Structure 1
Amino acid sequence: MVELSASALFELAAIAIGAGVVGGILAGLLGVGGGIVIVPALYFALTMTGMPPDLTMKMAVGTSLATIVFTSLSSSLGHYRRGAIDTDLLKLWAPSILVGVVGGSLLGAYVSGKVLVAVFATVALVVAADMIFRKGRADPQPRGFSRRVWALFGVIAGALSAMMGIGGGTICVPLLNFLGYDIRRAVGTSAAIGFIIGLPGALIYAATGLGAEGLPPLSLGYVNLAAAAVIVPLTTVFSQVGVKLAHSIPRRALRLSFGAFLLVTSVRMFIDLMKG
C-alpha cells in the first residue's frame, strides 16, 4: 500500500470529478460507458502520484470498469426510453461478449501496463479515422451476417473493451455503424452492452490484483474504491445530459464528435508512450 500526500489526493479527486462529469456526458452522447475519458484521466492522475507505470494502467482500467457498471445502466435506460436499443442484438451478443470480456480481462491483468496503453491508443486511433472519414449511409440497415459471424464480432468487442477498460462503445459504436446500424441505435445498444462488459471485467481486475504491492489506499485489487465513489454519482447523473444531446444533434455531427475525441485521446497516449 502506498501513502499519498494531501496535495496528491486533492489532484486525484479533482481529476476524478472532471472525468466523472465529462465521462458521464460522453457515455450518454456516444454510448461509450465513460471509460474512454476515465481511463486516460485516472492514468495521468495516478502517474502524478509517483505510482509505478505498470501498475498505473491496470488501476485505471480496473477502476474504470467498475464505474461503467453504473454508468451504462443509467445511460442505457435513457436510450431505451427513446427506442434506441436493439434488444435482439443484446440477446445474441451477450454470451459472446462475456467470453471476450473474461479472456480480455485475464490477459489485461497480467500483461505489461505499456501493452495496455499501446492497445488503447492504437484501437482509439483506428476507430477515430473510421468515424471521421467514412460517410454514414442514408438508409442504414444491419448487414445479413450469420449468427456465428455476429458472435465472433461480440467476442472481439468484449476482449478489446476489457483490455482497454471501456464500456464497449469505443469498439461497438463504430462496429455497429459499419455493419449498417443507424448511429443513434448503435450508440443506444452500445450503452447497454457496457454493463455486460463492466461487471465481469471489474470483478476479474479486482480479484487478480488482490495482494499486489504498491496499491493506493482504499483499493480492492486493481479497483480503487475511493475514485469510483467520486466518479459514479457524476457519470450516472450527467449521462442523461448526453442522452438528450445524442437524440437532438445531427447524425453526422455525432459521428464527428466521437471521432475527434478518440483522435485527441489516442495522440495524447502515444505521446506518453514515446516519453516512457
Structure 2
Amino acid sequence: MLTSYLILLLFGCLTGMTTVLFGFGGGFVTVPVVYGFWSVTAHSGADAMHVAVATSTAVMVVNSVLATLAQWRQGRIRREYIWPMAAFILVGAVAGSLAATRIGDSALRVLFAAYLLVTIADSLLRKGFLSVPRTRKPRPLSRLAKTLGGIAIGSVAACLGVGGSVMTVPLLRRRGLPMAEATAMANPLSAPVAVVGTIVYALAAPALHAQGGRLGSIELPACAALLGGSLPTIALVRRAVARVPDRVHSVAYVTLLVTVLIVMLVMGA
C-alpha cells in the first residue's frame, strides 16, 4: 500500500506540471491514475471511475487556485476572457456533477474516452489550434461562447472531472491567444468546476462517510499524496512556461491527450 501512495506522489508531480503547462488542474492525469489505483486496491474495483472523478475535482480545487495566483502574478490572466464565462461554467458544473452521480461507472469511463477522442480530432483537424499567426490580434469571446458555451463546458467538465481546460484552451486558442495565455486562463476557469464538483461528490454518497479515508466519493489519502507531489512542482515549473515555444506547447498538449486516451483504453480493456 505504501508503494502505491509513493507512486501517487510521483504522479502528483506530473499533475503539477500539467496544471502549469496545460491548465489541466490535474484532471487528465488524476482521473486515469486514481482509476487504476482504486481498481487495484479496492474490493473488485467498485465505483473506480466515480472515485477517480471525485478525487480529481478535489485535487483540482487546490491546483487550479494555486496556479491561478502564480499566473496572475506573472500577468497572464486577462479578465475579459474569464468573466462572465466563469459564472456560466459554475452553473453548468452543478448540473454536470449531479449527472455524474447518476451515470454508471462503465458509461462514465466511455464518456471520458469519447470526450478525449473528440477533442484530439478537433485539435488536429481544425485550423487555429496547433499554430496561431503572430500577426493575428486576439479576438474577444462572443456572447454565445460566454453563456451557452460556459454552461456546456461546466457540465461536461464537472461530469468527467477534467476541469474544462480541454474545452477552454482550444476556444481561447482559436481566438488568437498564445498557448501560454490560453493555458494560464484555463486554471481560473477550472476552479468553479472543481469547487462545485468537490462539494457534490463529497455529499453524493453519505453512507460512505464512515469508511476510513473517504469523504463521499473522494479518496482522501490519494488526494493528499497527489497534492504532495503537485504543489511543489507548480512552484518550480511556473516560471518555465514562457520559455516553451508556442508550436511545441500546442503539440505537447495534444500529445498528452493522446497518451491519456491510450492509457484509459488499455486499463478499460
Q: What TM-score do you get using the length of structure 2 for normalisation?
A: 0.90
Find the aligned partners of 1:54 and 1:270 in 2 and give their Cα distance.
Answer: 18
Find the aligned partners of 1:234 and 1:125 in 2 and give their Cα distance.
Answer: 28
- Count of matched residue pairs: 265
**Structure 1 residue ranges without an equivalent (≥5):** 1-8
Q: Percent identity?
A: 26
**Residue in 1 that maps onto 2:149:** 153
- 2:84 match: secondary structure: helix
User: Please, which of 241, 249, 267 is the counterpart of residue 244 of structure 2?
Assistant: 249
Taking a change above 3 Å as real, the CA distance of residues 154 and 113 of structure 1, as seen in their structure-2 partners, is same
**Residue in 2 that maps onto 1:235:** 230
Tell me the C-alpha RMSD between the 2 structures: 2.1
Matched, 1:168 2:169: no
Deviations 1:221-258 (A, max 9, x none): 01111111222232122123332232111001000111
Answer whether contact 1:216 1:224 (CA < 8 A) is retained.
no
Q: Offset at 1:83?
A: 1.5
Find the aligned partners of 2:10 and 2:118 in 1 and give their Cα distance.
Answer: 26
Find the aligned partners of 2:44 and 2:206 in 1 and give their Cα distance.
Answer: 17
Taking a change above 3 Å as real, the CA distance of residues 237 and 140 of structure 1, as seen in their structure-2 partners, is farther
**Residue in 1 that maps onto 2:195:** 199
Deviations 1:150-205 (A, max 9, x none): 21111111111111212222221122212333221111110122221111110101
Q: Offset at 1:140?
A: 4.3
User: Please, which of 22, 41, 48 is the counterpart of residue 56 of structure 1?
Assistant: 48
Find the aligned partners of 1:151 and 1:141 in 2 and give their Cα distance.
Answer: 23
**Residue in 2 that maps onto 1:95:** 87
User: Please, which of 1, 8, 12 is the counterpart of residue 4 of structure 2?
Assistant: 12
**Residue in 2 that maps onto 1:263:** 258
**Structure 2 residue ranges without an equivalent (≥5):** none
**Residue in 2 that maps onto 1:180:** 176
**Residue in 1 that maps onto 2:64:** 72
**Residue in 2 that maps onto 1:4:** none
Q: Offset at 1:31?
A: 0.8
Q: What TM-score do you get using the length of structure 1 for normalisation?
A: 0.88
